[in-house]
Amino acid sequence: MKLNEETNVEEEIVTNEENFPLFLYKNRECNMNKLTEGLMENEFLLRMGIGIFISPSVATFSVSTGPKGLRSARQGKAGRHKMTEITVEAIAYVAMQARLALSSDEQFHSGGQGNFSYLLFYNTVVDVLRSDTFAPFLPHVLAVWNRRLFPDETKARREHKSMSSGTALKLLRQLCKENQIAGRRKDVW
């Protein structure tokens, strides 16, 4: 339901491929005045991502401790495909899987004949998250997902990025400059 500001009457929002359902929003709450708030941060959605990419048993583990500490003996899809961080396309895939799980649909539809088009829904999620307009919010969304799905990788990236000053960085910059002068590899630091 949403409030029609002109008539001050609540109206039902039509569920279709281009309207984001509440399960995409944190705590299933959508602020119609700030639609980016909590988008793609729903606990169910994050657990779906953990179940798909890490392991179903990890997805049912405690919310407070997250997936760290409980790993399946088998590698999940992320491990098998050497996935170390989330992508927009992976989030859209999880959203599409979540939509299917919550619906009465037995399989994905490409639309038509009154069926929900999962392809259009997937592309809509990707288009919104990849848009220049959403760009300022995307790093936060990716960080939320990476902290939950890849906590060890996230920590390693943070530690790696911490080299912002000091002699180690100065040494690398000097070597790069020397290599450029000598015509060797031209890494930029």
Strand segments (E) across the chain: 2-4, 9-11, 110-112, 115-117
**pLDDT given at position 146:** 94
Task: List, for residues 58-84, the tens digit of each pLDDT value.
Answer: 655 554 555 454 555 567 777 777 788
What pLDDT band is residue 189 in, cutting at 50, 70 and 90? Answer: very low
- For 124, residues 6+ apart whose C-beta sits below 8 A from its C-beta are 17, 18
Helix (H, G, I), strand (E, B) or coil at 163: coil
Average pLDDT of the segment spanning 117-125: 92
**Distance (Å, rounded) from C-alpha 86 to C-alpha 82?**
11
Looking at the DSSP bridge assignments, the partners of residue 11 are: 2
Residue-range domain boundaries for the chain: 2-149
Looking at the DSSP bridge assignments, the partners of residue 9 are: 4
**pLDDT given at position 113:** 60
13-22, 44-53, 69-78: least confidently modelled range: 69-78
**pLDDT given at position 74:** 65
- Amino acid, single-letter form, for residue 25: Y
Contact 118, 99 (CB under 8 A): yes
**Distance (Å, rounded) from C-alpha 104 to C-alpha 27?**
22
User: Is pLDDT larger for residue 67 or for residue 52?
Assistant: 52
Average pLDDT of the segment spanning 16-23: 87
- For 54, residues 6+ apart whose C-beta sits below 8 A from its C-beta are 67, 71, 72, 76, 78, 79, 149
**Distance (Å, rounded) from C-alpha 181 to C-alpha 106?**
63
Is 35's pLDDT higher than 50?
yes
Task: List, for residues 135-186, the tens digit of each pLDDT value.
Answer: 999 999 999 999 999 988 755 555 555 556 677 777 777 777 777 777 665 5
User: Is pLDDT larger for residue 107 or for residue 30?
Assistant: 30
**pLDDT given at position 96:** 93
**Distance (Å, rounded) from C-alpha 43 to C-alpha 24?**
9
- For 92, residues 6+ apart whose C-beta sits below 8 A from its C-beta are 122, 123, 125, 126, 129
Contact 151, 66 (CB under 8 A): yes
Q: Where are the alpha helices (DSSP H) in 13-87?
A: 43-53, 56-59, 77-80
Is 98's pLDDT higher than 90?
yes
pTM for this model (two decimals): 0.67
